[in-house]
C-alpha cells in the first residue's frame, strides 16, 4: 500500500516495536500502520464459564481475551501514539463487515473516538491503480462499522450463552465437563446434517427392473433403453424380453435439438470453494485462506464476495494480455481476444466487491502448491467467462418393437467453446445415423434388477451449497462454521456423517428448545444485521432483540436442564475429544476415573466421576504428549497406567501420585518431566 501511494521514497520506522511506513502522497504525509487482524474482541468480564446468561459484554484488547497476545498490545500502543496530532484518519482495512469492525474499533478505542468522520478507502485489489484511486476518492462510511460490531455482539451473545447452558446441563446431569458449543448459525447447520442422516436411515429402497435392447442394422449396432425406465416386477420385464427378442424394431419418431451452453459466470466465494472441493478436494477453509494469500500478493481481487458479476470498469484487455504472457494460458487468451470482451455475468451481486478475478500482476516468488491450484482455477474461470458458447446436438429416437417402445439418445458437440480452456471439452464424434422408418433387428434384450437410490450424504461442497441456499451464515463465515462442526466432533467423514455427540445435541435441543435450530430465526437476525449495513435500523434495537431472544432460549433450556444434560452426557463422554475413561475408581469403587481438562486452566488431570458426590480422588498428568490407556494396571498399586508418547522416549506412568513405584524410581519418565514430579508431591 505504501509503495503504491508513495510519491518518492517509503520511510520505515519502529513505534512500540511495530513497523510504521511514512510516505508523501498528494501533498500530504500518510502514516501507515497494519492492524494484522482484530486488535479488539468482544467478551464478557467473567472468567468462570459456568456463569450465564451474560449480556454485559464489552470490547477488550485482544491480548486480554483468550491467550495473551503481546503483539496486539504493542500495535494498540503504536496506534495510540500515532493518532496524537493526526489531522485525519482513513480506514483501509479489507472492504467487508469484518474489515469495518476492525477499523471502527481501532478508531473508537485506540484513536480516542475518531470513528465518526473518519474516511474509508474502498478497493477490491491491492494493485497500484486500485489503491491510488481508493485513497483519492476516500469518503465517510460508518454504516458497515456498526453492522460489523453488531454481528460480533449477536454471534457472541448467542454462542456464549447457549454453549454454556448446554455444557453446564451436561455437568448438572452427572456427566463430565465437555464444551458443547452451539451458535446462531452452527445450530441450524448441524440440524441439516441430522435431518439428512434421518432421511438416509429411514429410506427403504424398493427394487425395480430395467430393460435394455441391442439393435443392429444398416451397418451399425447400438443400445436403447425401454421406455418404462423402472418396471416393478421381474415378470413384467421378462415379458418384454420374450416379446422383443429376435423381432424387428422400426424407428417411429426422431427429434433433433441443438443446445447452446453459455460460458460460466466468474467466481463468487462460494463458487470458488465448491469448485476447489470438487476439482482437488480442498476444504472450503483451505480454499478461502489460500485465496486470501493470493489477494495479499496482489494476484487476485478480494476473495470474500457474493458477486458473480464483473463491472466494465475493470481493464479486461490488460488483464487478459498479462495472463496470455503465461504459456499455459496463451492459446485460450488469444482466442477470447479475437472476440468482443463481454464477460458472462451471473445473478449474484455484492455491494462491496465484484466477482473474483486475476489482477494481471505476476508473482514475485514461486507459489505454493495450493496457491498455484487456486490461482489456476481463478485465471481459467476468468478467461472462460469471455469464451464462446458451446453448441451440441441431441438426437432422440423411438423404436417400436410391436407394442413395446425403446428410446435411444445420442449427443455430439457441434462447436467447441469455453470448456476447451479447462481441457474438458466434448469431442466431435460420429452419431448413429437414425432416420424415421429405419428398421433394426433386436439382437439382445437384457433385464437388470436394481434398488432405488436413497438420499446422498453432503460433502463439504454440497453442505456449503445448502447453507447458501438456506441463506444462513455469510460468504465469510460458512467455511468456518463447517470447520467448527468437525472440530467439535459433531460431524465426520468426507461424506459427512453426524456423530453420536452431534445427534445427541440436536435431539436434545430440538426437543426442548427447537427455535435454536430454526433457520427462520437465524435469517431474521441476519436480515437485521444487513439492515444495519444499509443504515436502515439502529444497532441498539437489534441488540435488545438479541438479548430478549437468547434469554428466552436459555430459560427454556434451564427448565429442562437435567433432561437435556442426561441426553448429551453419555454421548459427550464417548465422543472424540471427550474424557478418556481409565477404569473404576480404586478409592470409592463406584465411580470411574477419567482424563479431563479444567475449564479454567485448560490443564488435563485425572478425576473420579463421583467427585461432585464426595469422592475427592484426582491426580495430575503431564501436560505434554499424547496419552492412551496402557493394556495392564500398575503391578504395585493396581491403579490405571497410561502410555505417554510425543517425547523423545515414550514412557509409562501410573496415575496414582502415591504409588510406591514413584518413591523407588519405578516409573520410566523423561528427566525433564520435573513439573509432574513436583505436582505429584504437592498432591501427596
Domain count along the chain: 3
pLDDT, residue 535, reads: 64
Q: Are residues 567 and 584 in the same domain?
A: no
Instruction: Say which residue, 679 or 580, is predicted with more confidence.
Output: 580
Say whether both 648 and 623 belong to one domain. Answer: yes
Q: Same domain for 45 and 87? A: yes
pLDDT above 70: residue 661: yes
Cβ–Cβ < 8 Å for 561, 166 = no
Q: Poorest-confidence range of 70-74, 219-223, 391-395?
A: 70-74
Same domain, 561 and 658: no
Q: Which of the four pLDDT bands, split at 50, 70 and 90, describes residue 56?
A: confident
**Under 8 Å between Cβ of 443 and 262:** no
What is the rounded average pLDDT for all residues in the chain? 86
DSSP H or E stretch at residue 51:
none
pLDDT of 293 reads: 94
Confidence check: pLDDT of 635 > 70 = yes
* Whether residues 656 and 550 fall in one domain: no
In a domain? residue 43? yes
Q: What pLDDT score does 290 carry? A: 96
Region of 85 (left: φ > 0; alpha: ψ -120 to 50; beta: rest) is left
Catalytic residue among 109, 177, 226, 302: 302
CATH of the domain at 30: 3.40.50.140
Same-domain pairing of 561 and 584: no
Do 17 and 64 lie in a common domain?
yes
One domain for residues 545 and 591? no
- On whether both 19 and 81 belong to a single domain, the answer is yes
- pLDDT of 498 strictly over 80: yes
Asked whether residue 484 is domain-assigned, the answer is yes
| Of the residues 571, 602, 631, the one at which a domain ends | 571
Element (H, E) at 319: helix 316-324
Element (H, E) at 248: strand 248-261
In this predicted structure, the answer to whether residue 577 has a pLDDT above a threshold of 60 is: no
Asked, for residue 118, whether it belongs to a domain, the answer is: yes
Q: Inform me whether the pLDDT recorded for 467 exceeds 90.
A: yes
Q: Is residue 516, in this structure, part of any structural domain at all?
A: yes
Q: Which residues, 6+ apart, have CB-to-CB distance to 311 below 8 Å?
A: 354
Residue 495 within a domain: yes
Burial 458-492 (b: 16+ CB within 10 A, else e): bbbbbbbbbbbeeebbbbbbbbbbbebbbebbbbe
* Angstrom distance (rounded) from CA 676 to CA 621: 7
From the list 684, 643, 642, the residue with the least C-alpha distance to 663 is: 684
Sign of CA dihedral 437, 443, 447, 452: negative
If asked whether residues 552 and 587 sit together in one domain, one would say no
pLDDT of the residue at 176: 58
pLDDT at 169 over 90: no
pLDDT at 684: 27
pLDDT for residue 426: 47
Which of 571, 605, 639 is the last residue in one of the domains?
571
pLDDT, tens digit, 9 for 90 and up, residues 271-293: 999 999 999 999 999 999 999 99
Q: Is 279 a catalytic residue?
A: no
Q: How far, in Å, CA of 257 to CA of 396, rounded?
A: 9
Residue-wise pLDDT tens digits, 77-99: 999 999 998 999 999 998 888 88
Q: Is residue 481 part of a domain?
A: yes
pLDDT exceeds cutoff 50 at 669: no
Asked whether residue 513 falls in the same domain as residue 476, the answer is: yes
CB 523, CB 610: distance < 8 Å = no
Which one of 518, 536, 571 terminates a domain?
A: 571
Helix H or strand E segment including 384: helix 369-384
In-domain check, residue 591: yes
Domain of 517, CATH number, reads 1.10.460.10
Give residue 26's pLDDT: 87
Domain range holding 557?
151-174+187-193+457-571
What pLDDT was estimated at residue 672?
38
pLDDT greater than 50 at residue 524: yes
Asked, for residue 364, whether it belongs to a domain, the answer is no
Question: Quick one: 610 and 547 in the same domain?
Answer: no
| 145-149, 278-282, 339-343, range with the lowest pLDDT | 145-149
Taking only the tens place, the pLDDT of each residue in 427-464 is 455 556 788 999 999 999 999 999 998 899 999 999 99
Model-level pTM? 0.77
Amino acid at each position: 500500500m505504501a509503495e503504491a501511494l508513495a510519491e518518492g521514497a517509503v520511510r520505515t520506522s519502529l513505534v512500540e516495536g511495530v513497523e510504521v511506513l511514512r510516505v508523501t502522497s498528494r501533498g500530504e504525509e500518510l502514516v501507515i500502520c497494519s492492524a494484522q487482524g482484530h486488535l479488539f474482541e468482544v467478551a464478557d468480564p467473567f472468567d468462570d464459564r459456568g456463569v450465564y446468561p451474560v449480556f454485559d459484554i464489552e470490547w477488550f484488547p485482544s491480548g486480554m481475551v483468550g491467550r495473551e497476545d503481546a503483539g496486539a498490545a504493542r500495535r494498540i500502543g503504536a496506534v495510540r501514539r500515532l493518532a496524537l496530532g493526526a489531522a485525519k484518519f482513513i480506514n483501509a482495512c479489507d472492504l467487508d463487515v469484518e474489515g469495518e469492525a476492525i477499523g471502527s474499533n481501532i478508531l473508537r478505542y485506540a484513536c480516542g473516538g475518531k470513528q465518526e468522520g473518519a474516511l474509508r478507502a474502498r478497493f477490491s485489489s491491492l494493485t497500484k491503480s486500485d489503491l491510488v484511486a481508493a485513497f483519492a476518492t476516500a469518503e465517510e462510511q460508518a454504516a458497515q462499522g456498526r453492522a460489523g460490531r453488531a454481528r460480533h455482539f449477536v454471534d457472541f451473545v448467542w454462542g456464549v450463552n447457549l454453549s454454556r447452558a448446554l455444557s453446564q446441563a451436561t455437568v448438572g446431569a452427572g456427566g463430565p465437563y465437555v464444551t458443547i458449543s452451539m451458535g446462531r448459525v452452527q445450530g441450524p447447520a448441524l440440524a441439516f446434517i441430522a435431518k439428512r442422516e434421518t432421511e438416509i436411515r429411514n429410506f427403504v429402497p424398493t427394487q425395480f427392473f430395467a430393460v435394455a435392447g441391442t439393435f443392429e442394422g444398416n451397418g451399425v449396432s447400438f443400445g436403447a433403453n425401454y421406455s418404462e425406465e423402472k418396471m416393478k416386477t421381474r415378470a413384467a420385464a421378462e415379458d418384454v424380453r420374450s416379446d422383443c427378442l429376435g423381432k424387428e424394431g422400426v424407428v417411429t419418431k426422431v427429434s433433433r435439438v441443438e443446445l447452446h451452453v453459455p460460458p460460466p459466470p466468474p467466481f463468487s466465494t462460494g463458487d470458488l470453494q465448491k469448485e476447489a472441493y470438487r476439482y482437488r478436494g480442498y476444504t472450503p477453509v483451505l480454499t478461502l485462506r489460500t485465496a486470501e494469500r493470493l489477494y495479499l500478493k496482489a494476484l487476485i481481487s478480494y476473495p470474500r464476495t457474493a458477486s458473480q458479476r464483473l463491472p466494465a470498469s475493470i481493464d479486461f484487455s490488460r488483464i487478459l494480455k498479462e495472463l496470455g504472457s503465461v504459456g499455459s494460458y496463451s492459446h485460450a487468451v488469444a482466442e477470447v481476444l479475437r472476440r468482443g470482451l463481454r464477460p458472462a455475468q451471473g445473478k449474484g451481486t455484492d455491494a462491496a466487491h465484484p466477482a473474483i478475478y486475476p489482477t494481471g500482476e505476476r508473482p514475485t516468488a514461486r507459489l505454493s502448491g495450493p496457491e498455484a491450484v487456486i490461482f489456476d482455477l481463478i485465471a481459467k474461470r476468468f478467461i472462460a467467462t469471455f469464451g464462446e458458447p458451446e453448441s451440441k446436438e441431441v438426437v432422440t429416437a423411438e423404436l417400436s418393437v410391436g407394442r413395446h417402445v425403446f428410446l435411444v439418445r445420442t449427443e455430439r458437440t457441434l462447436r467447441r467453446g469455453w470448456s476447451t480452456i479447462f481441457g474438458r471439452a466434448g469431442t466431435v464424434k460420429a452419431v448413429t445415423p437414425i432416420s424415421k422408418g429405419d428398421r433394426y433387428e433386436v439382437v439382445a434384450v437384457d433385464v437388470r434388477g436394481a434398488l432405488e437410490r436413497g438420499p446422498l450424504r453432503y460433502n463439504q461442497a454440497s453442505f456449503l451449497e445448502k447453507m447458501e441456499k438456506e441463506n444462513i451464515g455469510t460468504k465469510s463465515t460458512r467455511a468456518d462454521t463447517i470447520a467448527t462442526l468437525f472440530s467439535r466432533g459433531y460431524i465426520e467423514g468426507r461424506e459427512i456423517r453426524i456423530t453420536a455427540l452431534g445427534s445427541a445435541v440436536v435431539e436434545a435441543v430440538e426437543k426442548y428448545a427447537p427455535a435454536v435450530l430454526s433457520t427462520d430465526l437465524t435469517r431474521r437476525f441476519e436480515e437485521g444485521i444487513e439492515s444495519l449495513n444499509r443504515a436502515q435500523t439502529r444497532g441498539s434495537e437489534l441488540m435488545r432483540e438479541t438479548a430478549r431472544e437468547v434469554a428466552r432460549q436459555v430459560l427454556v433450556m434451564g427448565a429442562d436442564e437435567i433432561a437435556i444434560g442426561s441426553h448429551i452426557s453419555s454421548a459427550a463422554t464417548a465422543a472424540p475429544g471427550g474424557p478418556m475413561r481409565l477404569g473404576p475408581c480404586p478409592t470409592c469403587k463406584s465411580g470411574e476415573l477419567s482424563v479431563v481438562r479444567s475449564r479454567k486452566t485448560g490443564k488435563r488431570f485425572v478425576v473420579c466421576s463421583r467427585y461432585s458426590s464426595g469422592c475427592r480422588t484426582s491426580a495430575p498428568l503431564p501436560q505434554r504428549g499424547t496419552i492412551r490407556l496402557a493394556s495392564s494396571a500398575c503391578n504395585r498399586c493396581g491403579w490405571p497406567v497410561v502410555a505417554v508418547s510425543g517425547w523423545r522416549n515414550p514412557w509409562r506412568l501410573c496415575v496414582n501420585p502415591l504409588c510406591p513405584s514413584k518413591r523407588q524410581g519405578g516409573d520410566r519418565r523423561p528427566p525433564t518431566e520435573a513439573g509432574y514430579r513436583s505436582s505429584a508431591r504437592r498432591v501427596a
